[in-house]
Amino acid sequence: MTNNKAGYTEGIVSIVINLALFALKIWAGIVSGSIALTADAWHTLSDSMSSMVVVVATKLSSKKPDREHPFGHGRWEQIAALFIAFLLAIVAWDFLTNSIERFNEKETVDFGILAIVVTLVSIAVKEALAQYAFYLARKTSNISIKADGWHHRTDALSSVVVLVGILFARHFYWIDSVLGLAISLMLFYAAWTIVREAVVKLLGEEPSAELIEQIAGSVRAAYSQDLHLHHFHIHNYVTHQELTLHIKLDKNLSIEVGHRIATEIENIIKVNFGIVATVHVEPLDFYHRTD
């Protein structure tokens, strides 16, 4: 499945299911008077908003390269992930302030059977959505889908916390407020995790050790001599990846031979890994301070 198809599919499925869950949970929250359940409902609605962001970002990232964006528009996925994290942080702040207000008012909540049933349904549905999103993210490496999956996961976890609170609400007046606070902390953590991963990809990252070893293995299969592959750097544009690396050759080789070897390695990486590479040639006796 392509990134585009995965983004559209996950986004649309999430929007439809989340809107239905929001209506169910907000009704149960109003009937029971629970701030935790009502906050959980708005969290679910924010999931719909984040899924809409995934759909829009998928559309934008699918645009072909142009003069202003020669490497394509794939990084819209990271931008979408940052926006989703921002939505999560807003919801977390709202939970935090409402929980503090409820704690100060010392109000008790009578959840009832309705709240228990709705919460159980929410846990099952949201975890299923999270697993679906994570599955698509693994298949496509789409970070915005992964961020949306975390949004679903935090909603499922917050519903678990609400369910625990329901069981103890009659014994502790403050349980609803504490649950709202716990949910807010989980959301803040999820937002931070999403931001960190998106920013790392936007700023640039080192290739994984696995990718480096695979590339080195492909080069070793083509050349018997040790070319001392090093200084790997990758620029990830999602739909397009650029890799730079250095090799070392005998300084007595002609420029023509060195160029041919570098070009052949670039072609190997393009064919085997779908990555556009630029190979820098150095003499064998040249050493970087980092070598």
CA 226 to chain centre: 38
Q: What is the pLDDT of residue 267?
A: 92
Of 155, 184, 203, the domain-final residue: 203
Range of the domain at 262: 209-283
- The reply to whether 83 and 183 lie within a common domain is yes
Of 167, 184, 203, the domain-final residue: 203
Alpha helices per DSSP H over the chain: 3-32, 35-61, 76-105, 112-140, 143-168, 175-203, 209-222, 255-273
- The reply to whether 147 and 172 lie within a common domain is yes
Average pLDDT value for the chain:
77
Nearest to 112 by CA among 26, 22, 23, 33: 33
Is 135's pLDDT higher than 60?
yes
The answer, as to whether pTM is greater than 0.75, is no
- The reply to whether 141 and 54 lie within a common domain is yes
- The reply to whether 140 and 16 lie within a common domain is yes
CATH number at residue 219: 3.30.70.1350
Tens of pLDDT, residue by residue over 21-59, are 888 888 887 877 766 677 777 767 766 766 776 677 666
Domain for residue 263, yes or no?
A: yes
Matching residue, tokens 């921002």: 86
Q: Which residues contact 253 (CB under 8 A, 6 or more apart)?
A: none
CATH number at residue 166: 1.20.1510.10
- The reply to whether 124 and 34 lie within a common domain is yes
Domain for residue 288, yes or no?
A: no
Mean pLDDT lowest among 150-159, 165-174, 219-228: 165-174
- The reply to whether 251 and 279 lie within a common domain is yes
Domains of the chain: total = 2
Tens of pLDDT, residue by residue over 73-124, are 566 667 777 877 787 788 778 778 877 776 776 655 555 677 778 888 888 9
Tens of pLDDT, residue by residue over 177-192, are 777 777 778 778 878 8
